[in-house]
């Protein structure tokens, strides 16, 4: 199907209220509309769902969206119905939560052709009666969300996901779009191979989330630190992740005792309680949800302001996805993780008894997490490098290591020693083994290879294992070394590394941070840095009106029994505090507000704004145009505010009753 860019933008504005696509969205949609298989790697908050929701509205038939959690399906269906002015037949989900009458209603809408999106879990998709029913329908395409679940190398592998290709072939082949927020090159390859889409058009967005602040804290007194942090950020939504169900219950109870509204969420609770607690979080009845990773993919709330890991996670993929729940609306997001080596030992014990290959994968993934936690390198650089993306800045300005850099030293000799050792061993060993040789450790593995007789055995015995591991990791970040994921993390020398070995030069490195049991000034400084980062991410506008709009949104969400963000996201409310829309037509100009959403939810909001404007004698941006002669300074201020909100120049000019040339003259 051929659709012009203009047609796509009209639908985007009409249904979703956005003026422009983000990143690769338009290219992805055009490729899917053209009938191609598509692989999408897009970080959380990048707008993955739009990539299949919008084309589904264009194409004949029903798009099958395979999604892992019931709660996520319900949120997505609520959202798309909100965008389409409350048309309940436009999207449905089919899972075990529905009774017979509801299932009949869903199937009737599907057969009639009114339903454009059907969300199913892989378990539901494989049921014989569902397969037989879906064979009767015209399928426009299949969308596989959270596609990393397909790969054994993914952080949340699910065996039932590996049956999807077989079921798709049975129902009837149609284009496939696979989407994930977390996939290393190995995971991507595994997904495409399993789904039988090796020639899919691949779209990779940057993993960089500049609005997120990353921080690792010593796990010396985490409960006190968490309570203090939340009390310093009143009214903000947040998620706290714990490894065990018992710890989830304990932390949730502790927060409530200390006057913080919090609820637990874990797989040991019955589904009704889990749903009730999640809904309370979405409806802003509580500020904090304390959860195991069972909550990881079940939340679609754009205004989560902080994600705290009480326990360090098992993999960087899991960590990245969980931290990605913060700041999905592009505004501030604080990502704080507490770390102690005891957590690593605990996770290693969990692996005992599993198949050897699974243990090998698990240890490698855990090793990367430990390296990230202990590193003094830029955390953003570390994360992007892990996902195969280059980060060219020296200082990201939004992580603890960049805001509080550690002392550096010239590591020319140390790096040359590491490279010489790897070269002599024909690139067949992992970082831990290399570090043990340099330290002169005579363990069983070293002896089994006769490496206790190697000329470089003990050459770095005056250092620590942490030091040599840090040198190797920084060698990887500097692209002197590379890890072979296919061979469980064996280290090899790159071409750049061989050039360095041939002609060593000054190389500034940092030693890894030593984690201590007691407190130090670092945590206090980092807390201040987090607050500063939050301030730098916040928008401009009328704070008093914003508070009133948020209260109204909460009341309306309860009345309508919908999550608050389905009505209007935080960026939309921010725009309302700048543009002061008092009619539905004016409300549509706000970011993220389409005509359907404005007419369905907007009336009480514009009425509140109108009262506020009158009572406080506010001079609105449009009022400045209507009145005889606003000062050039006032007009310029309104233009600058519009630019700050990333509104198109044409819309700003129209609102000011100017030509485009006149607007540019005022900037």
**Among 459, 631, 594, 649, which residue's Cα sits nearest to residue 84?**
594
Which two tokens mark 170? Answer: 């049975």
pLDDT, tens digit, 9 for 90 and up, residues 469-528: 889 888 887 889 887 655 656 888 999 999 999 999 999 887 666 654 333 333 334 444
CB 366 within 8 A of CB 358: no
- In this prediction, residue 653 has a pLDDT band, given cuts at 50, 70 and 90, of low
- CATH 1.10.10.10 in the chain: give the residue spans: 408-510
What does the mean pLDDT of the chain come to?
Answer: 82
Domain at 5-204: CATH code: 3.40.50.300
Show the tokens assigned to 325.
Answer: 């729940």
Tens of pLDDT, residues 391-441: 888 789 999 989 988 778 888 999 999 999 998 988 778 888 999 999 998
Neighbours of 132 (CB within 10 A): 11
Q: Where residue 65 falls among pLDDT bands split at 50, 70, 90?
A: very high
In the predicted structure, residue 297 carries a pLDDT above the cut 80: no
- Reading the block at residue 456, the tokens are 């470089």
**Of 75, 114, 116, 74, whose CA–CA distance to 94 is shortest?**
74
Residue 51 has a pLDDT of: 93
The SS3 assignment for 201 reads strand
Q: What average pLDDT does this structure show over 562-573?
A: 86
CA–CA separation, 539 and 213 (whole Å) = 17
CATH architecture observed for domain 408-510: Orthogonal Bundle (1.10)
Encode pLDDT of 436-460 as tens digits: 999 998 888 888 888 989 999 999 9
Q: Which CATH number fits domain 212-358: 3.40.50.1360, 3.40.50.300, 3.40.640.10, 1.10.3720.10?
A: 3.40.50.300
Burial class of residue 340 (count of CB atoms within 10 Å of its CB; 0-12, 13-18, 19+)? middle
In the chain, CATH 3.40.50.300 covers 5-204, 212-358
CA–CA separation, 103 and 98 (whole Å): 6
Out of 138-147, 176-185, 238-247, 303-312, least confident range: 176-185
Joined together, the tokens standing for residue 306 give 């902080």
What is the band of 223 on the pLDDT scale with cuts at 50, 70, 90?
very high
User: Could you tell me if 564 and 553 are in contact, meaning their C-beta atoms sit under 8 angstroms apart?
Assistant: yes
**For the stretch 288-304, what's the b/e string if a residue is b when 16 or more beta carbons lie within 10 angstroms of its beta carbon?**
bbbbbbbbbbbbbbbbb
Label residue 17 exposed, middle or buried (CB < 10 Å: 0-12, 13-18, 19+).
buried
C-alpha separations of 57 from 18, 46, 115, 116, 593 in Å: 16, 20, 9, 6, 18
**The CATH number, out of the four listed (3.40.630.30, 3.40.1710.10, 1.10.150.80, 3.60.20.10), of the domain defined by the range 543-666:** 1.10.150.80
pTM of the predicted model, to two decimals? 0.62
| 54 phi-psi bin (left φ>0, alpha ψ -120 to 50, beta other) | alpha
The DSSP element (H or E) to which 87 belongs, if any, is none
Assess whether pLDDT exceeds 80 at residue 207: yes
């Amino acid at each position: 199907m051929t659709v012009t860019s203009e047609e796509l933008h009209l639908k985007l504005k009409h249904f979703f209220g956005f003026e422009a696509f983000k990143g690769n969205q338009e290219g992805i949609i055009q490729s899917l509309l053209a009938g191609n298989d598509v692989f999408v790697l897009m970080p959380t908050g990048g707008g993955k769902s739009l990539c299949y929701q919008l084309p589904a509205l264009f194409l004949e038939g029903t798009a099958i969206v395979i999604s892992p959690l019931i709660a996520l399906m319900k949120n997505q269906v609520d959202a798309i119905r909100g965008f389409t002015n409350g048309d309940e037949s436009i999207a449905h989900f089919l899972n075990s939560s529905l009774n017979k009458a509801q299932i009949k209603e869903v199937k009737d809408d599907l057969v009639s052709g009114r339903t454009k999106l059907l969300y199913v879990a892989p378990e539901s998709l494989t049921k014989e009666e569902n397969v037989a029913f879906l064979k009767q329908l015209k399928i426009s395409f299949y969308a596989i969300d959270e596609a990393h679940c397909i790969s054994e190398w993914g952080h949340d592998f699910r065996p039932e996901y590996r049956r999807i290709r077989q079921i798709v072939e049975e129902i009837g082949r149609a284009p496939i779009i696979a989407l994930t927020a977390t996939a290393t090159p190995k995971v991507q390859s595994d997904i495409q191979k399993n789904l039988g889409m090796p020639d899919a058009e691949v779209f990779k967005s940057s993993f960089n989330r500049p609005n997120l602040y990353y921080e690792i804290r010593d796990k010396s007194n985490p409960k006190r630190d968490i309570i203090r942090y939340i009390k310093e950020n009143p009214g903000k939504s947040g998620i706290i992740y714990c490894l065990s169900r018992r710890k989830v219950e304990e932390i949730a109870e502790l927060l409530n005792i200390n006057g913080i509204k919090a609820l637990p969420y874990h797989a040991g609770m019955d589904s009704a309680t889990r749903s009730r607690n999640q809904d309370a979080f979405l409806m802003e009845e509580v500020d904090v949800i304390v959860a195991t990773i069972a909550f990881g993919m079940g939340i679609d709330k754009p205004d989560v302001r902080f994600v705290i890991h009480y326990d360090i996670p098992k993999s960087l993929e899991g960590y990245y996805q969980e931290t990605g729940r913060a700041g999905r609306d592009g505004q501030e997001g604080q990502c704080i993780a507490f770390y102690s080596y005891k957590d690593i030992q605990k996770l290693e014990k969990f692996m005992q008894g599993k198949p050897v290959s699974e243990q090998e994968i698990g240890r490698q993934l855990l090793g990367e997490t430990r390296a990230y936690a202990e590193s003094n390198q830029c955390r953003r650089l570390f994360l992007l490098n892990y996902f195969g993306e280059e980060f060219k800045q020296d200082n990201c300005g939004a992580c603890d290591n960049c805001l509080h850099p550690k002392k550096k030293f010239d590591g020319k000799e140390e790096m040359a020693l590491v490279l010489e050792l790897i070269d002599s061993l024909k690139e067949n060993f992992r970082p831990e083994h290399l570090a043990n040789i340099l330290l002169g450790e005579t363990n069983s593995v070293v002896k089994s290879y006769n490496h206790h007789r190697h000329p470089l055995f003990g050459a770095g015995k005056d250092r620590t294992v942490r030091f040599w591991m840090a040198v190797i990791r920084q060698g990887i970040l500097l692209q002197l070394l590379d890890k072979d994921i296919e061979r469980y993390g064996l280290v090899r020398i790159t071409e750049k590394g061989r050039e360095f070995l041939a002609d060593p030069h000054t190389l500034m490195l940092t030693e890894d941070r030593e984690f201590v049991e007691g407190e130090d000034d670092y945590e206090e400084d980092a807390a201040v840095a987090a607050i500063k980062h939050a301030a730098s991410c916040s928008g401009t506008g009328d704070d008093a009106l914003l508070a009133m709009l948020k209260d109204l949104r909460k009341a309306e969400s309860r009345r309508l029994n919908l999550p608050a963000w389905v009505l209007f996201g935080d960026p939309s409310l921010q725009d309302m505090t700048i543009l002061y829309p008092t009619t539905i037509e004016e409300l549509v100009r706000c970011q993220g507000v389409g005509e359907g959403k404005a007419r369905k939810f907007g009336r009480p909001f514009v009425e509140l704004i109108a009262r506020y404007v009158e009572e406080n004698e506010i001079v609105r941006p449009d009022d400045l145009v209507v009145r005889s002669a606003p000062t050039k300074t006032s007009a310029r201020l309104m233009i600058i505010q519009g630019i700050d909100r990333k509104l198109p120049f044409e819309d700003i000019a129209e609102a000011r009753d100017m030509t485009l040339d006149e607007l540019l003259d005022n900037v």
